[in-house]
Structure 1
Amino acid sequence: MAVSQFRLPGLRRLSQYPRLSIQMMVAGIVITLLFVLIAVFAPLLQSWGWIQDPMEALANPIHEPPSLAHWFGTSRQGYDVFSRTLFGTQAALQVVVAATVLSLVVGVPLGMVSGYLGGRLDRALLFLMDTIYTLPGLLLSVTLAFVVGRGIWNAAIALSIAYIPQYYRVVRNHTVSVKTELFIEAARSMGASTWHVLFRYLFFNVIQSVPVLFTLNAADAVLVLGGLGFLGLGLPEETPEWGRDLQQALDALPTGIWWTALFPGLALTLLVVGLSLIGEGLNELINPLSRQE
């Protein structure tokens, strides 16, 4: 009896796929791993005295351009931009990982239960998720941020609620199509319980698109978190955050202080690109229909 149809291709089969797709995914993994290493080692570099405290303003100099003393320059508020950019990576990854994991953990089981059981529960959940899904992600996150307040976990909760319907819809639709397969009917006829069927037979057959959705949602979450920080609704003011640093740099741009906006903006863009490349590469590998003949 076939239980799982979800398999990543082995190394020998990678040559069967478009080289560009493989290169995209590898490039995305390298970029993302670079940011992970930065987030992990930034506190260690600070403890060794190699970088400044990102939350400690320098008495002098203020708004100095990039130099050997301050690689990314300093801001008008007296912060070292290099240090703020590195520690902003840590905050971004913490929020993004927490948000995407929360939305996956909630959305996938809900989609499976809803699609498998059907009936009133399915209609009620479908109406609720469709209602949430119709709202723009940034607008919904801004509204929720007002309610839950600032903080890493609060920002993660605000972002995750916007992504739960995406996991729900994808998994529910796959569940509805798979639950009529012969091996599911055979499991039922042998007396398998609902939960046994869901997590023994259905689960691995309905999550093909979840890894792709996870990485693309993570990329989107970086942008939304940056938007929240730009609006002053992300993390606490003293926390290094790319969106808030960009907002503070906005007033300095007309005076020629370009470096305070350039480097946080580049970091945010590169992380989004890296996660998006992983998602697109995974989609090519997992979903054969997406590949051009």
Structure 2
Amino acid sequence: MAATKSTIPRFLQINKNSSLSQKMMVVGLALTLFFIFIAFFAPVFQWVGIIQNPTDSLINPIHEPPSGKYWFGTSRQGYDVFARSLFGAQAALQVVFLATALSMVVGVPLGMLSGYLGGKLDKMFLFIMDSIYTLPGMLLSVTLAFVVGKGILNAALAISIAYIPQYYRVVRNHTVSVKTEVFIEAAQAMGANTWQILSKYLFFNVIQSVPVLFTLNAADAILVLGGLGFLGLGLPDEVPEWGYDLRQALEALPTGIWWTALFPGLAMTLMVVGLSLLGEGLNDFVNPRLRKQIRG
């Protein structure tokens, strides 16, 4: 028997703008997969001799323009810009996805627990999360980076704090609306405890917006990581990172050395665009009202 429209979950129904959403998702997914590919295979490219070691100074030539030997040229430190651009994608993915995963792991359970239990616990969490949410994300990440220091895990931790309230607010709002449904009341009447209700009945009904938040936060986190690297607060100096390379290239720009800034900046831009398109496409496809809920 063919499924009717009413039997299809709302978040799987395709709206009238689905063609545009699908195009956005395809382009965004293609760009995202491209950077995942180069991040994964960058060590292989180095091993077979396609690129240089991104942390080895070539001594000579310094500030070599793009050529057949050095596709993206070399920096004033003698680094191969092409190698550092590729390995920069690896560092970005490690930090960004770790940061967004940490914020999701904290924000989703807190949002479910707060929305379901309500009362003083809910008010306390709302106050804490709203207080964090009012702070500029970049400023908060910079402050925390000063405290925890450099490193992949430390940078991810500094970035993740700013995104926890977003997961919390969206999941809490969904939980508040779902917990009054008949199937939740039936589970309570049958003696299901809080853990059982949260894990078996609420979880899969309130997380449909989480993948959207994950991709959009990942796009924003790349810019935050780049800002930390530009300020010298992100990763150790020997780790290839786009923001740090842009900072080093800034001094060479007035002298016409454009390639050391162009290629890391272009890589960062394309990766942000890819994740943003993927997130916006998912946003329209999964829940067109998500954007209003986040901004509200």
| Paired position in structure 1 for 2:49 | 49
Structure 2 unmatched ranges of 5 or more: 1-6, 292-296
Separation in 2, partners of 1:7, 1:145: 41
- Percent identity between matched residues is 73
* TM-score normalised by the chain length of structure 2: 0.93
| Paired position in structure 2 for 1:204 | 204
Separation in 2, partners of 1:271, 1:259: 18
* TM-score normalised by the chain length of structure 1: 0.93
Measured at CA, do residues 169 and 289 of structure 1 come closer, stay the same or move farther in structure 2, by a change above 3 Å?
A: closer
| Paired position in structure 2 for 1:245 | 245
Q: Cα deviation per residue 1:206-233 (whole Å; 9 max; x = unaligned)?
A: 1121111110000000000000000000
| Paired position in structure 2 for 1:72 | 72
Q: Cα deviation per residue 1:68-98 (whole Å; 9 max; x = unaligned)?
A: 0100000111111000000000000000010
Q: Cα deviation per residue 1:144-185 (whole Å; 9 max; x = unaligned)?
A: 000110000000111111111110111111111111111111
Measured at CA, do residues 249 and 288 of structure 1 come closer, stay the same or move farther in structure 2, by a change above 3 Å?
A: closer
Separation in 1, partners of 2:261, 2:105: 35
Bigger Cα displacement from structure 2, 277-286 vs 228-237: 277-286
| Paired position in structure 2 for 1:23 | 23
Structure 1 unmatched ranges of 5 or more: none
Measured at CA, do residues 142 and 85 of structure 1 come closer, stay the same or move farther in structure 2, by a change above 3 Å?
A: same
Q: Is 1:34 the equivalent of 2:31?
A: no
Structure 1 stretches (4+) deviating beyond 2 angstroms? 4-9, 13-18, 288-291
Report if the CA contact (8 A) 1:5-1:204 is conserved.
no
| Paired position in structure 2 for 1:213 | 213
Count of residues in correspondence between the two structures? 285
Q: Is 1:156 the equivalent of 2:156?
A: yes
SS of the aligned residue for 1:59 comes to coil
Measured at CA, do residues 173 and 8 of structure 1 come closer, stay the same or move farther in structure 2, by a change above 3 Å?
A: closer
Shift of residue 8 of structure 1? 5.9
Shift of residue 33 of structure 1? 0.2
Q: Cα deviation per residue 1:1-46 (whole Å; 9 max; x = unaligned)?
A: xxx986764xxx7696532211110000000000000000000111
Measured at CA, do residues 290 and 96 of structure 1 come closer, stay the same or move farther in structure 2, by a change above 3 Å?
A: closer
Separation in 1, partners of 2:290, 2:53: 46
Measured at CA, do residues 69 and 268 of structure 1 come closer, stay the same or move farther in structure 2, by a change above 3 Å?
A: same
Look up the equivalent residue of 1:120 and give its one-letter code: K
| Aligned-residue RMSD, C-alpha | 1.8
Bigger Cα displacement from structure 2, 276-285 vs 85-94: 276-285
Q: Cα deviation per residue 1:217-266 (whole Å; 9 max; x = unaligned)?
A: 00000000000000000000010000000000000000000000000000
Separation in 2, partners of 1:217, 1:251: 31
